[in-house]
Copies of this chain bind each other. A is one copy, B any other.
Amino acid sequence: MQNVNESLWPLKQVLIMGVEENIENIANILRLHSIRSTTKAGSGHPTSCLSSAEIIATLFFSVINVDPKHIDYLDNDEFVLSKGHAAPILYAALAEIGVFPREKLMTLRQFDSELEGHPVPRVKGIRVATGSLGQGLSIGLGMAYAKRLLGIDRRVYVLLGDGEVAEGSVWEALNLAGKLRLSNLVAILDMNRLGQSEPTMFQWNWEEYANRVKAFGWNVTVCNGHDVKDLMRAFNEAKNSDKPFFIIAKTVKGKGVSFLEDAEDRHGRALSKEELSRAEKEILPKIKDAVFEPRNFIEAKIPIEPRRKYSIKTEYKMGEMVATREAFGKALVKLGEQNEKMVVLDGDVKNSTFTIYFFEKFPKRSLQCYIAEQNMVGVAVGLQTQGFDVFLSSFACFLSRAYDQIRMASFSRANLKIAGSHAGVSIGEDGPSQMGLEDLALFRAVFGSVVLYPCDAVSAEKLTCAMANYEGISYIRTTRPKTPVIYDNSEEFHIGGSKVLRCSGNDEVTVIAAGITVHEALKAYEKLRAEGINIRVIDCYSVKPLDIETLVKAAEETKHIITVEDHYPEGGLGEAVASLGLRPNILAVRKMPHSGKPEELLAEQGIDAAGIVSKVKELIRKYHPLRTFS
Contact A579 B568 (CB under 8 A): no
Contact B166 A169 (CB under 8 A): no
- Closest-by-CB residue of B relative to A179 is B201
Contact A583 B586 (CB under 8 A): no
List which A255-309 residues lie within 8 A (CB) of chain B.
265
For the complex, give the distance between the alpha carbons of A579 and B600 in Å: 26
8 Å CB contact of A592 from B109, B175, B447 = B447
8 Å CB contact of A595 from B117, B579, B586 = B117
Chain A positions 403 through 447: 1 when the CB is less than 8 Å from some CB of chain B, otherwise 0: 110011001000000000000000011111110011001101111
- Closest-by-CB residue of B relative to A213 is B215
A281 to chain B, nearest CB (A): 27
Contact B216 A368 (CB under 8 A): no
Contact B398 A132 (CB under 8 A): yes
For the complex, give the distance between the alpha carbons of A116 and B593 in Å: 11
A596 to chain B, nearest CB (A): 3
Contact A571 B578 (CB under 8 A): no
Given the interface pairs A197-B348, A201-B179, the reply to whether A397 lies near B407 with Cβ below 8 Å is: yes
Q: Pick from A3-11, A56-64, A370-378 the stretch touching chain B.
A: A370-378
Q: Is A102 an interface residue (CB 8 A)?
A: no
A478 to chain B, nearest CB (A): 16
Chain A positions 86 through 123: 1 when the CB is less than 8 Å from some CB of chain B, otherwise 0: 00000000000000000000000111110011101010
List which A125-147 residues lie within 8 A (CB) of chain B.
129-134
A43 to chain B, nearest CB (A): 5
8 Å CB contact of A441 from B201, B441, B581 = B441
List which A162-215 residues lie within 8 A (CB) of chain B.
163-164, 166-172, 175, 179, 195-198, 200-201, 211-212, 214-215
Bin the interface of chain A by size: 35 or more
Contact B447 A593 (CB under 8 A): yes
Q: Is A619 an interface residue (CB 8 A)?
A: no
Q: Is A544 an interface residue (CB 8 A)?
A: yes
Contact A168 B445 (CB under 8 A): no
Contact B431 A131 (CB under 8 A): yes
Q: Is A523 an interface residue (CB 8 A)?
A: no
A299 to chain B, nearest CB (A): 33
Contact B445 A371 (CB under 8 A): no
For the complex, give the distance between the alpha carbons of A444 and B132 in Å: 23
List which A575-630 residues lie within 8 A (CB) of chain B.
575-576, 578-579, 581, 583, 586, 592-597, 600-601, 604
For the complex, give the distance between the alpha carbons of A216 and B404 in Å: 25
Chain A positions 494 through 525: 1 when the CB is less than 8 Å from some CB of chain B, otherwise 0: 00000000000000000000000000000000
For the complex, give the distance between the alpha carbons of A487 and B443 in Å: 37
- Closest-by-CB residue of B relative to A166 is B370
Q: Is A569 an interface residue (CB 8 A)?
A: yes
Q: Is A356 an interface residue (CB 8 A)?
A: yes
Q: Which residues of B contact A175 (CB under 8 A)?
A: 166, 201
Contact A163 B371 (CB under 8 A): yes
8 Å CB contact of A570 from B44, B408, B441, B601 = B441
**A166-B172, A401-B403, A438-B442 known, 18 other contacts, Cβ within 8 Å:** A43-B429, A84-B433, A111-B601, A134-B371, A163-B348, A163-B370, A166-B175, A171-B171, A195-B370, A196-B351, A197-B349, A211-B215, A265-B351, A398-B404, A441-B441, A441-B444, A447-B592, A578-B581
- What are some 18 contacts across the A-B interface (CB < 8 A)? A43-B428, A111-B596, A111-B600, A116-B432, A116-B594, A168-B168, A168-B169, A168-B170, A168-B372, A195-B371, A197-B349, A197-B350, A411-B433, A570-B579, A571-B571, A574-B579, A575-B575, A579-B586
Measuring CB to CB, which residues of chain A are less than 8 angstroms from any residue of chain B?
41-44, 84, 109-113, 116-118, 120, 122, 129-134, 163-164, 166-172, 175, 179, 195-198, 200-201, 211-212, 214-216, 265, 346, 348-352, 356, 368, 370-372, 374-375, 397-398, 400-401, 403-404, 407-408, 411, 428-434, 437-438, 441-442, 444-448, 544, 568-571, 574-576, 578-579, 581, 583, 586, 592-597, 600-601, 604
